[in-house]
């Protein structure tokens, strides 16, 4: 160790000066002393994080100071004494050198012990790190395998579900073809006998050479009326089934112009009811123009049909852009989607909200056959079908004798 070498240099310089009194040895001693203080400072800085070493270095510094002081006193004695006999200071410095070496070796022992402990700790943590990495690798491989098998299982489940879905699609297409055949039969095979019944009943009613009493005439009229009603129902049913399959592309439709043409078409009914219709600014949407005309005409006919006696009908149609929060019960995913919300409201007889589901079913009426309000119970079903074709939704809200409100939700195109 360098500190011990410098101590030996001090010892050699001291003895050399004692023998020769050459000042070169004094400079040699002073240089060694400076080097010792420098090394002690470096050792103190290195061991400043260890309380035991701090205390031990304090003792080392004290021993070094006493040893150096003894050497300086011995050098002074050599300069002043005439005898060549070594002084007491020389022997004291020799003992102090042993003490200094012993404390310095103690410091070295503690430091070596700390180094060994640190080395052991490093080895321990290296082993721990390597084991941890191995364990993590094993766990990662296990998790990867588990996820792989889960993915394979999910993929097989999806494939089975896809096969089931494909089978259901085939069944649905078969059912759709059957419905088309039924619709064709309704449009041709059923309507032809009805037309013949109407023709023959009319011939019996108006035939001059046939004598019929009032009862027979009334019966024939009822038969003719029922046949006409059945023919009208079949025609409406055909209108509904024709909306299921769409053979045209969507085009921009200005709802303002659509409503203008509808108002012209039903002008006689509006005047007959003395109705007031307020139509606010409506948007241009991508849709099927003919279907949208049927939709709004059906809603206006509905409002003009179910009016209160001695009360001027008031109809309003307004529009605003809104989110689908009102559609949460239909589909929660629509809550943040944007829609054109078109509200058709009136001050008619209204309805009980408990019958809303029934209102949108085919041939379901809230009033019986003998009611003063005409209708066949298919208009709102057609409206709902048209909204579905436009990827929209319709919500009804009514209050008995206070009016009804139909809210149409058309998606706002991105």
Per-residue pLDDT, averaged over 387-403, amounts to 88
Return the domain boundaries, the chain. 2-129, 248-411
The C-alpha atoms of residue 348 and residue 316 are separated, in whole angstroms, by 12
Buried residues in 351-363 as b, exposed as e (16+ CB within 10 A): beeeeeeebbebe
Q: Is the dihedral of CA 128, 131, 135, 136 positive or negative?
A: positive
99-108, 138-147, 300-309, 358-367: which range is least confident on average?
358-367
Per-residue pLDDT at 341 = 94
Residue 208 has pLDDT above 60, yes or no: no
Report strand pairing: 276-279 vs 314-323: parallel
Considering 10-19, 37-46, 162-171, 219-228, the range whose residues carry the highest mean pLDDT is 162-171
% of the chain beyond a pLDDT of 70: 59
Per-residue pLDDT, averaged over 6-15, amounts to 66
Residue 3 has pLDDT above 70, yes or no: no
Per-residue pLDDT at 384 = 86
The C-alpha atoms of residue 150 and residue 88 are separated, in whole angstroms, by 91
Which CATH number applies to 2-129: 1.10.10, 1.10.3470, 2.70.98, 1.20.1440?
A: 1.20.1440
Domain 248-411: give its CATH code: 3.30.565.10
56-70, 109-123, 152-166: which range is least confident on average?
56-70
DSSP string computed for 366-383 = SS-TTSSS---S-HHHHH
When pLDDT is cut at 50, 70 and 90, the band that residue 320 belongs to is: very high
Residue 366 has pLDDT above 70, yes or no: no
When pLDDT is cut at 50, 70 and 90, the band that residue 94 belongs to is: low
Per-residue pLDDT at 81 = 64
% of the chain beyond a pLDDT of 90: 19
Per-residue pLDDT at 131 = 86
Considering 102-106, 237-241, 253-257, 322-326, the range whose residues carry the highest mean pLDDT is 253-257
**Stronger pLDDT, 343 or 328, i.e. the higher one:** 343
pTM for this prediction: 0.51
- Angle 237-238-239 from CA coordinates, rounded to 5°: 90
Exposed (0-12), middle (13-18) or buried (19+): which is 315, by Cβ within 10 Å?
A: buried
Residue-wise pLDDT for 107-146, tens only, equals 667 767 777 877 888 888 888 888 888 999 999 999 999 9
* Average predicted confidence (pLDDT) for the chain: 77
Per-residue pLDDT at 197 = 74
Q: What are phi and psi of 308, to 5 degrees?
A: -90, 150
- Angle 203-209-214 from CA coordinates, rounded to 5°: 70
**Stronger pLDDT, 367 or 197, i.e. the higher one:** 197
Residue 352 makes CB contacts below 8 A (sequence gap 6+) with 398, 400
Residue 259 has pLDDT above 90, yes or no: yes
Per-residue pLDDT, averaged over 269-276, amounts to 90
Residue 34 has pLDDT above 70, yes or no: yes
The C-alpha atoms of residue 152 and residue 18 are separated, in whole angstroms, by 94
Per-residue pLDDT at 314 = 92
């Amino acid at each position: 160790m360098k500190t011990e070498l410098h101590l030996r240099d001090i010892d050699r310089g001291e003895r050399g000066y004692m023998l020769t009194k050459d000042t070169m040895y004094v400079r040699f001693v002073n240089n060694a002393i400076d080097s010792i203080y420098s090394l002690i400072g470096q050792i103190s800085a290195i061991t400043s994080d260890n309380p035991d070493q701090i205390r031990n270095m304090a003792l080392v510094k004290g021993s070094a100071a006493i040893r150096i002081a003894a050497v300086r006193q011995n050098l002074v004695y050599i300069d002043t004494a005439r005898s060549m006999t070594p002084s007491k200071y020389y022997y004291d410095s020799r003992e102090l050198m042993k003490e200094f070496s012993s404390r310095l070796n103690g410091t070295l022992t503690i430091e070596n012990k700390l180094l060994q402990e640190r080395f052991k700790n490093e080895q321990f943590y290296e082993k721990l790190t390597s084991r941890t990495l191995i364990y993590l690798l094993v766990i990662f491989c296990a998790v990867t395998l588990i996820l792989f098998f889960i993915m394979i299982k999910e993929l097989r489940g999806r494939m089975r579900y896809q096969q089931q879905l494909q089978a259901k699609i085939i069944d649905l297409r078969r059912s759709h073809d059957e419905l088309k055949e039924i619709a064709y039969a309704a449009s041709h095979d059923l309507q032809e006998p009805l037309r013949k019944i109407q023709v023959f009943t009319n011939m019996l009613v108006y035939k001059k050479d046939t004598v019929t009493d009032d009862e027979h005439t009334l019966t024939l009229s009822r038969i003719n009326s029922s046949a006409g009603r059945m023919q009208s129902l079949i025609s409406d049913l055909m209108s509904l089934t024709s909306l299921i399959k769409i053979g045209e592309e969507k085009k921009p439709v200005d709802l303002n112009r659509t409503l203008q043409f509808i108002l012209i078409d039903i002008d006689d009914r509006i005047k007959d009811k003395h109705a007031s219709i307020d139509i606010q600014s409506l948007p241009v949407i991508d849709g099927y123009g003919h279907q949208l005309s049927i939709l709004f005409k059906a809603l206006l006919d509905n409002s003009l049909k179910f009016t209160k006696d001695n009360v001027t009908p008031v109809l309003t149609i307004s529009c605003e852009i809104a989110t689908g929060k009102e559609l949460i019960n239909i589909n929660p995913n629509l809550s943040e989607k944007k829609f054109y919300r078109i509200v058709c409201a009136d001050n008619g007889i209204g309805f009980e909200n408990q019958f809303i589901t029934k209102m949108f079913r085919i041939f379901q009426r809230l009033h019986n056959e003998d009611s003063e309000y005409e209708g066949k119970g298919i208009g709102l079903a057609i409206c709902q079908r048209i909204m579905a074709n436009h990827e929209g939704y319709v919500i009804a809200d009514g209050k008995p004798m206070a009016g009804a409100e139909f809210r149409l939700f058309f998606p706002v195109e991105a």
